[in-house]
Every structure is written in C-alpha cells, then in structure tokens.
Amino acid sequence: MTDGTPLPNRSSRIAGFHKKSPRERLDLVASFADLAPDVVERLSDFGNLPPDLGDRLIENVVSTMNIPIGVATNMKVDGEDVLVPMATEESSVVAAVCNAARQNYDTGFATSVSGNLMIAQVQAVGISDPHAARIRILERRSEIQAICDGCDPVLVRLGGGFRDLEVRVLDTLGGPMVVTHLIVDTRDAMGANAVNTMAETIAPHVARWSGGRVYLRILSNLADRRLARAHAVWRTAEIGGPEVRDGILSAYHFAEADPYRAATHNKGIMNGISAVVLATGNDTRAIEAGAHAYAARSGRYTSLTRYETTAEGDLSASIELPLAVGLVGGATKLHPTAQACLKILGVPTAERLARIIAAVGLAQNFSALKALATTGIQKGHMALHAQNIAMMAGAVGDEIETVARTLVERGTVRVDVAEKVLQDLRKS
Ligand code: MEV
C-alpha cells in the first residue's frame, strides 16, 4: 500500500550511470536511497576538491568524503623541524604524535631509507624444467634491463630505472611456478605504473624463455627494498621515570611475542602513518599491506617497532617498514590538498617523505604504549570522544563543549546520557 507518492527507483541497473555528471548521478542515487534535499545539497559540496578533478580521479563520482587534517607539531626529523599534516577521523592520533615529539624534541628522530626500489612480479606456470628456466631468464639480464628501461625513458633520465633481477622457483598447490622479480628504482614516484608497465612488457619474453605460460604481472606491495627507518631516544627522566620506561618496554615485549597484541600495536603505528599517507594523496592500502606483510616476514606476525634501554638507562626506540610513497603521479600530484600538505612538509624527495612518515609511526607508537602502560588510553581519548558523543546527541555550538565536559566529569560518555545532559542544559 502506498499513499500515492511515487516509490523511489530501487533498481541498481542504471544505464549510462558512468557517463552522467556527478550531480546527475547524485540525483539518481538520492532517488534510489530517498535522500532528503538538505542531505543531497551537502553531498554536492565537494569541499576543497574541484568536482571536475574528483570526477576524473575515480569512477561514478557523486561526492567527497571530508576527513579533518590536523597538523602535528614538535617533530624534529634529522635535525630539521617539520610540521606534519595528518588526515584522520580518529581522535587522539594527532595529539599522540605532538606529545611524543615534545618529549624528545631536543634530540628528535634520526631516519634513513634502504632505497627507492620497487619489485614487480611476473608469474610463469606450466614449465617442465623450472630450475633451468630460472637460469635461462637470469641469463637475459641485460636484455631485460634494456626492455624495462625502454618502457620509461623519463624515469631513466631522472636517474631511475631497472636495477636488478631475481628469479624464484616456488613450490605451489598448482605445481612449480617461476616468479621473476624486476627490481626498479622509481625515484620520486610510488612507481606502480612504471613497474606494472615493465612487467607487462617483459611478460611475453618470460613466457618464451621459460617455455611456460605467464599469468600475473604486477608490483609487490611487500616493498622490502624500499624500507624507511627511524630511531629515537626518550630520556627516562623526561617520560616519568623508570617505571614508565619499563611499562613501555613490557608493552613492546608483549607485542613482539603475541600476534593478537602485535595487530593492535601495529594498528596504532598505522594510525599515524596512514594519516600522513592519506594527507599527501598516497596509497594507504599499499602502505598498510606492505607494513603488515613486513611484520610477518619471519613467518610470525610481530611488532614493527623495537624498544631497548640505552647504556644510560634511557628508552631507545626504532621502527623499520616498507614505505612506498611518491611525490609525483596520481592524487599526490593532482589533489590540491595533497599538494598543500606536501608544501607544509617541505619534502624535496619521496625519500624524505618516507623518512618523516617512519618517524611519525614511531612517535605514534611511543605515545600509545606510554598511555597504555600508565593511565590507560581512555582518559586522553574521552575528552575528544565526548565531544563527538555530544554532537551525536544533537549539541551545537557552545553546547558541545559544555555537554562533553559534563560527560567526562561524570565518567559516563554515552549518547543517552549526553541527550539527557543536553535536555537539562536547554531547559536551564
Ligand atoms: C587505537 O586506535 C590504537 C591503539 O589501540 C594502539 C595500541 O594499542 O598500541 C591505542
């Protein structure tokens, strides 16, 4: 039964959807989902991303998802002060970096990288003599180099290009597989496009040399030849004494030993890392896949950071993980906000960006472990969380702060309580 108003169109088969403008698509979606006019108006505001550009970055665009960018202060990386833009929806993440960096501002973070090398994989199957095929491919090194470098003369002009060749014979469920790794210096690019093109171009040759059939030709996100590292010392006297230091060390020992804890420990690290990766228009999923695969490289998933005690009894912390980030290509180059964030960071190379990101990951982890080993995470979290809850309860303007403060004072940060506090506030 209906009241006579036409029912919204509920078919997901929308002919020519991809050819329409973002606004036309949004209207169709609004009709499908019965969105209120004020919701549609809000969605149609693309914020700081020009709609034409948004429409070209991905498919079937209707709107944007605005995530706040906070700037982490106090960071000193390799002796240089940096302000770090971080895009995240999670409260306490930016504050955690600021706090960690404040506590070691004098010495800051020392960083390094292993290089800008990306790996592309070419999978060949159905080979009767896989070990000999491996040798046949390795014999073609200079030919492979010429073909790969021929794919991207600009990269070669910039000092990048093919660097090395690796061929592995894998024992798989489907029989032996010959996997060729092209190792390519991608300079200031993340490098996915460059190495994927090389892998696709080399593939028919690999099929011929191996006598097999080639299927996959794609980069590996386990970019273990593109590692970024950071190291920092927090003086025991500055962080609350030996008990705090030992609590942090014990938290690290826990993560090192237990994958259940390591997953959460590393998630905290990625809170910081992914926020900078996103703010700079880089690929958060690539970085996360690489980080977690690297954390499991020994066959047992473990912590991405390490904590030790210096000879002086201070806390020595370090991090190492793959960080395939770029300054050129894709959203990094096109998104005006990503460009502005890169300008704030003042990074001249992708290498420098990776080094800062590694330092942010370490700072984030230090703060999380310190909070967890002392007061617990909720105390710091609750002040901002309470504001979110106040807004969810309908508080606006000055009400947000008042309701949030009352929730924290009462020690009950819940929407139902916030609604009651708001009601009382409006009555008074
Ligand atoms: C929350 O987003 C991150 C933490 O859980 C990290 C950690 O436990 O180390 C606090």
Pick the CATH number of 69-114+227-374 from 3.90.770.10, 3.30.470.20, 3.20.20.70, 3.30.450.30: 3.90.770.10
pLDDT tens digits, one per residue of 9-48: 689 999 999 999 999 999 999 999 999 999 999 999 999 9
- Mean pLDDT calculated for residue range 162-182: 98
Q: Choose which residue among 271, 273, 378, 381 to substitute to test ligand 1 binding: the one with the highest number of ligand atoms within 8 A of its C-beta.
A: 271
- Specify which residues 80 forms β-bridges with: 77
pLDDT tens digits, one per residue of 253-276: 999 999 999 999 999 999 999 999
Percent helix, strand, coil in the chain (nearest 5)?
50, 20, 30
pLDDT tens digits, one per residue of 304-353: 999 999 999 999 999 999 999 999 988 888 999 999 999 999 999 999 99
Reported confidence tier of residue 1, pLDDT bands at 50, 70, 90: very low
With 90 as the cut, is the pLDDT of residue 120 above it?
yes
Catalytic residue check, 283: yes
- Mean pLDDT calculated for residue range 44-66: 95
Reported confidence tier of residue 428, pLDDT bands at 50, 70, 90: confident
Atom 9 in ligand 1: residue holding the nearest Cα = 265
Query: Which part of the chain is CATH 3.90.770.10?
Result: 69-114+227-374
Which string of b and e fits 104-138 if b means at least 16 CB within 10 Å?
beeebbbbebbebbbbbbbbbbbbeebeebbebbe
Of 18, 131, 253, 267, which residue is the catalytic one?
267
Q: How far apart are CA 44 and CA 51, in angstroms?
A: 9
CA distances (Å), 333 to each of 191, 226, 306, 327, 343, in order? 13, 21, 34, 7, 12
pLDDT tens digits, one per residue of 196-240: 999 999 999 999 999 999 999 999 999 999 999 999 999 999 999
Domain 379-427 falls in which CATH fold? Helicase, Ruva Protein; domain 3 (1.10.8)
Catalytic residue check, 90: yes
With 50 as the cut, is the pLDDT of residue 100 above it?
yes
Q: Which CATH architecture has domain 117-219?
A: 2-Layer Sandwich (3.30)
Answer for the pair 217, 199: CB distance below 8 angstroms, yes or no: yes
With 60 as the cut, is the pLDDT of residue 241 above it?
yes
Query: Which part of the chain is CATH 1.10.8?
Result: 379-427
Q: Separation of 238 CA from ligand 1 center, angstroms?
A: 22
Catalytic residue check, 427: no
Q: Separation of 306 CA from ligand 1 center, angstroms?
A: 16
> Is the pTM value of this prediction over 0.85?
yes
- Mean pLDDT calculated for residue range 123-128: 98
Query: Which part of the chain is CATH 3.30.70.420?
Result: 117-219
- Give pLDDT, residue 382: 78
Q: Across the chain, what does the average pLDDT equal?
A: 95
Pocket of ligand 1 (CB under 6 A): 90, 264-265, 267-268, 271, 368, 372, 377
Closest by Cα among 222, 155, 138 to 189: 155
With 60 as the cut, is the pLDDT of residue 160 above it?
yes
- Give pLDDT, residue 6: 56
CA distances (Å), 121 to each of 201, 217, 219, 339, in order? 12, 6, 6, 31
